[in-house]
Structure 1
């Protein structure tokens, strides 16, 4: 049987945010039997770098040190893990995306904040650009997430927000596959946001409630077919607030969410919802693009 995840890419600049992402990425790779690729990008832009040779050499030495740190973290945790380290010059998010595509990476694991100032290599904006353009899932670790040792990283309770869209369905497939691998519990959640329809009456909220029941039941049935324990909930409020509140109240370990959902008047999950969840969450967020292959 093929592995769920075969290659995990960990971008790093040796910042606290990047190392937090590395811990989750190493835990994910080790527990799925995946190889680890560690990438640090020296930002040079589209034009030839303005750095002199001495400064460029210093930045590349820092980048080499950054990938070696993560490599050592991975080997200390799992001496059998296969680790590849790479330093590139270029625009960070483009280099990450291109490396992921060329090396057939299955998941990119990264912190959402990095260095600031002239020595920056990885920034929050880099993560957002990766999220917008990646063809594979991105495990984004926000700065508010706790900082456990790799041994203590948990994937026991997974939150799967859904709106019944294609984007939510592919995210649910990934969430259930991860839950099956980790023997986790799945929490399916649908948010009824009635604020755009407050002057219309009760018909629209009732219809949304029916849609929510259908979406949640679809996730629960899929989980049941995979012998994964699942619960389902419907809550009223803005999707971002509902997701964050539920994650806190239920002490979930990971939010698995699509990066795009419905469009038009029925939209609930847009890229902006996922980005807001990533920015504000206290737990890692596993972001699945609609273009991602099924697990």
Structure 2
């Protein structure tokens, strides 16, 4: 078993028995195996949902609750079996609970000291955007721990050390980005992967009265400084690193770079220069998660408490 890296020694796999949850659990198991982390499997019976069904159908509430709990047990055991078959060296803890799913997950993270949550996203809408699903989206918005968000396209990918060669770490030079960079570099040491760091010189966020030719050189200079900070941190850990400053909206720049450079894993802070105090996912991270085809580790600023 690998030694746990600083910051990751427990991974939570929430499941509702769906295929997307299983995909997220598989990638989460691979992350746990690579980092030597323990596995926790959790399924939550949504009591508000069972009460609504009972009310609408005029059926027995206790009977519906018992059926939902049986389904939760089945879902947990299916994931636990998968973990034991693919990574028998890992310690597995299974739990079912009742309540509002994302709030139960948040509480479990706090009480069990979870370091990373691995969750699948639902799929693509008619507009070709990933639907995060209400539970995944709410977990991302609470910022209670880093979340490995796994899109449906990642079904056949792997986060094993032999197949994870390139990790993309976008940065805007902010404190939030710096926390994500630390996590990304740690992961790069585990996977022996090259770090690609990227800064977007986005002039669109400035007032229309500001001349692009005037502000762009300043943004590019700030980008070079932000990239050099990442390079120094990566080199200090013996991690190979390359960096680029690009122009355009950050989410589009990140997604294009990931596609063009065969990125295997993306690590991004969930808020940067907005100055918003609450733990929100933020438009850049949200757009990346909704549109990428590779797993994304979304790192809230509070994640530095685990380090």
TM-score where L is the length of structure 2 = 0.86
Distance 2:160 2:166 in 1: 16
CA RMSD of aligned residues (A): 2.4
Change (3 A) 1:149 1:107: closer
Distance 1:150 1:214 in 2: 30
Change (3 A) 1:20 1:195: same
Distance 1:132 1:231 in 2: 30
How many residues end up aligned between the 2 structures?
Answer: 284
- Aligned residue for 1:234, secondary structure, equals strand
Deviation at 1:177, TM superposition (A): 0.7
Higher helix share: 2
Deviation at 1:211, TM superposition (A): 0.6
> Partner residue of 1:131?
140
> Partner residue of 1:285?
296
> Partner residue of 1:89?
98
Contact 2:4 2:36 in 1 (8 A): no
Deviation at 1:155, TM superposition (A): 2.6
Q: Among residues 171, 195, 200, which one is paired with 2:210 in the alignment?
A: 200
Deviation at 1:145, TM superposition (A): 2.8
What residue ranges of structure 1 are gaps of 5+ in the alignment? Answer: 115-122
Contact 2:176 2:270 in 1 (8 A): yes
Distance 1:281 1:74 in 2: 26
> Partner residue of 1:64?
73
Deviation at 1:156, TM superposition (A): 1.9
- Aligned residue for 1:72, secondary structure, equals helix
Change (3 A) 1:169 1:283: same
Distance 2:49 2:299 in 1: 28
Distance 2:151 2:281 in 1: 19
Q: Among residues 212, 224, 234, which one is paired with 2:235 in the alignment?
A: 224
Contact 1:27 1:153 in 2 (8 A): no
What residue ranges of structure 2 are gaps of 5+ in the alignment? Answer: 55-60, 124-131
Deviation at 1:192, TM superposition (A): 1.2
Deviations 1:85-108 (A, max 9, x none): 111111011011110111000100
Deviation at 1:57, TM superposition (A): 1.1
Change (3 A) 1:153 1:15: farther
Matched, 1:165 2:142: no
Distance 1:192 1:150 in 2: 30
Contact 1:23 1:150 in 2 (8 A): no
Deviation at 1:190, TM superposition (A): 0.4
> Partner residue of 2:58?
none
Contact 1:12 1:18 in 2 (8 A): yes
